[in-house]
Amino acid sequence: MRIFEEDNGQMLIGGISAEELAERFGTPLFVTDEFALRLNYRRISQAFSQHMPIRVHYACKANTNLAVLRVLEQEGSCIDAVSIGEVDTCLRVGFTPDRILYTGVNVSDEELEAVVDRGVMINIDSFHELRRLAAISTGDKVSFRVTPNVGSGHHDKVVTGKKASKFGIPLEEIMDAYREAVNLDLVPVGVHAHIGSGGQSVEPFIEVTEVLIGVANRVEEELGITLEFIDIGGGIGIPYHPDEQEMDVEQLGAILTRMVLEDSNVGTFALEPGRYIVADTTVLLSRVVDIKETGGKAYIGVDAGFNNLIRPAMYDSYHHVVIVNRYGAEPEAEYDVAGPVCESGDILAKGRMLPEAQNGDLIAVLDAGAYGSTMSSQYNSRPRCAEVLVIDGQADLIRERETLEDVLRNQRVPERLMQ
């Protein structure tokens, strides 16, 4: 969890007070620190690239804001895309097709054709997809997503690598997939797995790397093909709680690359961090609009809800909250922080010790850069909020606040209903 600078009790983001940003751009408001974004990318890239050639594929489903993507394109990142929409979004900001790996699940023929048309490599998820792809195009380089029987993640809903997962080809069938790809005139060049999201332990990453090395070696021994890359997917977590320790990515990079270098002939190591790169770069600013006590519990009512940040409602996720206009002040009372959505589950934070809240205070929900904006909605006919990028005292609007007209724009009432 990031520690922010403070000036006379005011929390600073990118050299600007959070209160000033809220007054200028309104609330709710996502604020992203560009310097932190660049630093996170460089940290994870260096942790692995100092040992062997790598490709860092930013898992853009975490945050697809065009400005965020442009920053990472400038940093030299590659992309992990899971839809044709993500592919086209990344192409729009300057990523070339060779820097994008497409890993879909339950992909339609139309989407496969579109990805092939863009010249983007496909990471194949099933035998059915393999055969449909070969009917569309041959001679293309491909990779395979294997289900490694290794799972990790902060919640059952984000564990993806266990047996019987909807993702990937079962480990015991993966060699049949490579053989069939060759017979169908496709060119296998990689192997991929993803174990889950938000893991803080090194051990599952070691396990999945062992599995992928085993697959790569079998492909070489049985088919005479030396794969170009091993891709361990994403899932590197961050410390959302103040008392959590950050994963040692230097250690992770040293261990995993050594395994690949010593135990295989694969030349490139690939990984797909999303949360690690963007989560702690962004806070969600929200204004206190109500304070009440009921049933022995004190609530701070704010103008942001799970329409802005769904993770606490969907995954029971913890996000640290602070009162930014009294940043660093001693806690005095326990509160639940509740949003305006008409659902009992619209609680952003439970049982938090905070300074005594006052109407008009400004709350910051930390670590909101991953799966905040991208999973936001217009539920309760609430327009999506604005987003701002800050660095060195400069603030730029990178997403305009929606209006009700934006919410209703594509709806139509048949003329016969207006009679």
Q: What is the pLDDT along the chain (419 residues), one digit of tens a residue?
A: 788 999 999 999 999 999 999 999 999 999 999 999 999 999 999 999 999 999 999 999 999 999 999 999 999 999 999 999 999 999 999 999 999 999 999 999 999 999 999 999 999 999 999 999 999 999 999 999 999 987 544 444 444 445 667 889 999 999 999 999 999 999 999 999 999 866 778 898 999 999 999 999 999 999 999 999 999 999 999 999 998 989 999 999 999 999 999 999 999 999 999 999 999 999 999 999 999 999 889 999 999 999 999 999 999 999 999 999 999 899 999 999 999 999 999 999 999 999 999 999 999 999 999 999 999 999 999 999 999 999 999 999 999 999 999 999 999 999 999 99
- The answer to whether residue 224 is domain-embedded is yes
Last residue of a domain, one of 277, 312, 328: 277
Which tokens sit at 294? 């009921």
Strands (E) located in 155-278:
169-170, 187-192, 229-231, 268-271
- The answer to whether residue 368 is domain-embedded is yes
- The answer to whether residue 210 is domain-embedded is yes
Last residue of a domain, one of 257, 277, 297: 277
Helix or strand run (H / E) with residue 42: helix 34-49
- The answer to whether residue 414 is domain-embedded is no
Last residue of a domain, one of 225, 251, 277: 277
Query: Residues 200, 332: one domain?
Result: no
Query: Residues 212, 323: one domain?
Result: no
- The answer to whether residue 386 is domain-embedded is yes
Neighbours of 407 (CB within 10 A): 14
- At 200 the pLDDT is 76
Query: Residues 271, 148: one domain?
Result: yes
Query: Residues 399, 329: one domain?
Result: yes
- Distance from C-alpha of 370 to C-alpha of 32, rounded to nearest angstrom: 11
- At 152 the pLDDT is 46
Torsion sign (Cα): 282, 287, 293, 295:
negative
- Distance from C-alpha of 186 to C-alpha of 142, rounded to nearest angstrom: 7
Residues annotated as part of the active site:
342
Query: Residues 216, 163: one domain?
Result: yes
Query: Residues 215, 344: one domain?
Result: no
Residue 288: half-sphere exposure toward Cβ, Cα within 13 Å = 23
User: Domain limits at 100?
Assistant: 34-277
Query: Residues 228, 362: one domain?
Result: no
User: How many distinct structural domains can be found in the chain?
Assistant: 2
Query: Residues 251, 294: one domain?
Result: no
- The answer to whether residue 38 is domain-embedded is yes
